[in-house]
Structure 1
Amino acid sequence: MFAFVNNQSKKLALLFLASHIFTAAAASPFELDNEASTALFARAVGGKYVGSSCQVDAECYSGSCATGNDGVTRTCQRQLPGGPCFDNGNCNTRQCDLSKGICKASAVNGLCTDYYDCAGWEQGTVTCQDKKCKVKDSKSCTNSNQCANGLCKDKICRRRPQAPNSPCFVDSECLSGDCAAVNPSQCTNPDGSFTYCPGTTDQHCTRYTLGSKCANNGECAEGFCRSGKCVASKDGDVCSEQYQCTGLSVCGSNGKCYTPSSASLYPNDVCDAGSQCRSGRCVVDQQQKDPYTNVNNVILKNQYPKRCDYLANGQSGCRSVSDCLTGLCKSGTCKLGSDGDRCQVNYQCQNLCSNDGVCYTPTQPNAQGKNEPCKTDDQCVSGSCIATHDVVVRPRLGTSDGSLTNVDDTACAGSAAGGACSDDADCNEGSCSSSGKCGLLPLNAICEQDFQCDTQTCIYADPYGASGTCELAYQYTECSRDDQCYSGACVRRQCPNNKDPNCVFFGCQAVALGGSCRNLNDCTSAGQTCGADNTCVLV
């Protein structure tokens, strides 16, 4: 009996001891991760575990109660490097400088929870990978176990050789042996179609040459991956991109490789050689045409794939004006238009294209007014023929409904004061005098627009009237002399365009408070108006 009791007592004692050990372990902050002696527990501000709910720092053994990603929940967390500590377990890095009472950052291969736990993260040299601080690619190293990608070559961390399209810094990081700048939209999918390149560097591993081993079509610089090798294409092969069709073959609109016959391709068709084009030119610097008006706009450089150039004047094979570089398509040949031919822009005509969209020859030189068509300065009254953007309006070429469209073309500029004119419309400033010169109108002269007046102010007594009179300028109106302003003062003002650091602007000063005014435009715009007694008053 006593033996039984004695035996059971031993068991109870062992259970009691085990229970106390478990309780001590469970109560130890940081879930068995504390590295300090239990004697230091008494120094803890609080005793809550990492991950425990908290409201203030004092509740946590680490002294850090932080808000989680949800922006609401607060839990005990370890301290970041630089945070207060009294033992290693207080810190993300498990390194407490006890002499200073602050958490230390981890060296390479030290413990981390994120990159900011690592010494040197501010310089962008390290990262946190698998809870260890590692050196980033292209940064200095002494051995491979320091590097995020596990390779230290010539004292620099490098990627191990990567497949085509992978980001890289040097040739040794590529299985192809070539790390080069790649058009950011011309990396490839496994089927060979283009896609945007991964990573932030502009250099990527190039694709394999013909005869090299490959895993898919996207790894071959040309041709296709068949039986694990990059091979040349054959006519009839299904293609995603032009580069997959080798030799003189091209990827047709039906998505298959074929070899065009001589002079069979029309302008803008994909080509591999000039002999395939009706124009005789297969180019990478491509003239772009507006698809709505067929008017030339910009030339795009180094375009891919190469395309057949437009037909020059005198070349045959055009289907419509859209095939011609500068002329009209007449009986299958690109030519400059004769008087009476329909046109869209001046360069399509032997002479000029009227605002009605018909080629014509001016009756006399120096007769074209402001915004009228021209090719040379001596055709304009103002003596200036300029390129315009969307100013010229003509019937759209190729339509019969008379629909109008704005086009970029050359047209005559207007004249400044003192310049030649044939009527008021030719003047950028002032009006056209009987002597054929643009002149600014004096005070009280009849006017229609502000720019006709010396004061740049044309006021209509009747808002619906046919004309107004030149009056002294309102406040802030651009000026060059005091006598142009109603206030009597032309001063330097804030520039209308605040983004121009070189702007110098002079405008009329506002009438002072209590001064005479015609309407609120004479008074300071901030908090003043023109009162019933025609003086500037506070609102």
Structure 2
Amino acid sequence: MFTRYCQGLALAVLVIASAGIFGCAQSELPLSDQDASHHGDTITTDSSGEHDTKVEPDTKVVIDADRPDRGLPDVHTPVGCTNTQDCSENGQVCDTRSGRCVAPCLSDANCAPDHCNNDNGLCYACVTDGHCDEGRCDAAGGTCKECLNRADCEDGLACSSDGRCVICAANTDCIDGQAPVCSTPTNTCVGCVGAGDCAAGELCHPDESRCVQCVTEGDCAKGLCHEGRCLGCVENADCGQNQVCDTAQSVCVQCVATSDCPSGHCRPSDNTCVGCFDDVQCPGGACDLNAGVCRDCVNNSHCGSLVCSPNYTCVQCTAKSDCPLGRVCSSLNTCEQCVVNSDCPLGRVCAANNTCVECNQPSDCPSNRPVCSSNVCFQCVNDGQCGPTQRCFKNLCHEKGTSVCTSDATCPSESCHPFVRACTCDWPSSSQCSTGQVCCFTFSGPICRLSGDCN
């Protein structure tokens, strides 16, 4: 940019506009070569023979014609500004981009090849979108950009702060769970940019931008870092006693094959030695997969018509619902008539053999049959349970001296004399009489009496 200095000015201020060179007025003459020589190389001659002085654009130059140097610059300093109010001379405006006061433009001709913003009198590369070969015009900065917002970009792209369509401009643009963080230097979605993006105990790999267990060997307790993962082992020697190295997972385990187990089988799901992990390993039984041992049964499907108990054995029942109607399940897992008295009909009690009986003890019997014998209530089972003048016969108390009977069934001989109501017998044999009786020959025929009652 060149500025022409003119004679005949008592004092003048020239501001060099960025769009051109101001010439001298017709009544003024340009400085001569001799005048210019007083100031070294600050004067140059253009192709027309006129003399111009090199001055930086937007530079304030004070010319004093009364000095012996006949008007050459006394001051050569930029005028700074932050707003147009800082520029008070000759209607200048502040170009905040350079922080200098400049002459305002009136049309695009003053700014070629740029364009004049009539709102602030400054020249910009663009004022409207039409001034851009492609993209949008950023009115705030007067520059053409690829985008101003997301809508200007293709689907799936975001608009960066510097006006480029990029993969991401913020973390919210990253929807892949494996790469949830936006790396602003590259505007790409990555796994992390710092340790704060990773889970506790993890690091952000500086070269791969992903969360890892380790970056160097020193990050691992055993000093084995491979592809961002701390390895537990690479060979069996790296593992403790009774362990081997699972080289596929790089961890120490109890076994990787059945040959690693002193007994049983190697369960592949967790690399532990167990008694079984499949029913085929339990002949005649089933494999309890949780415990890794063979059982008689694990569920009812292994027991046919029976059920599988909590002890893993096939039994008749584990609950009343497993038994036929009218039966209950005992503590021995068998279906029984009763377990407690309430399981029996009224007037019956539950015996030790889980059957409903008349009595277990005398208190279970009515007052007219107070003796409990073999779970049945009787009037008596021996003479001591009868009155002093009575004797016990057929579990009933009778007066002594008689062998009272009511029917043939009540006599050992199965014959009751119809008139004397005494049991008959084959005299002189007493085999058909009860204990303590003998066969007596009477006027009514041979009948059973107590041995002292035959006379």
TM over 0.5: no
Structure ranking higher in strand proportion: 2
Q: Which has the larger radius of gyration?
A: 2
TM class by shorter-chain length?
under 0.3
When normalised by structure 2's length, the TM-score is 0.26
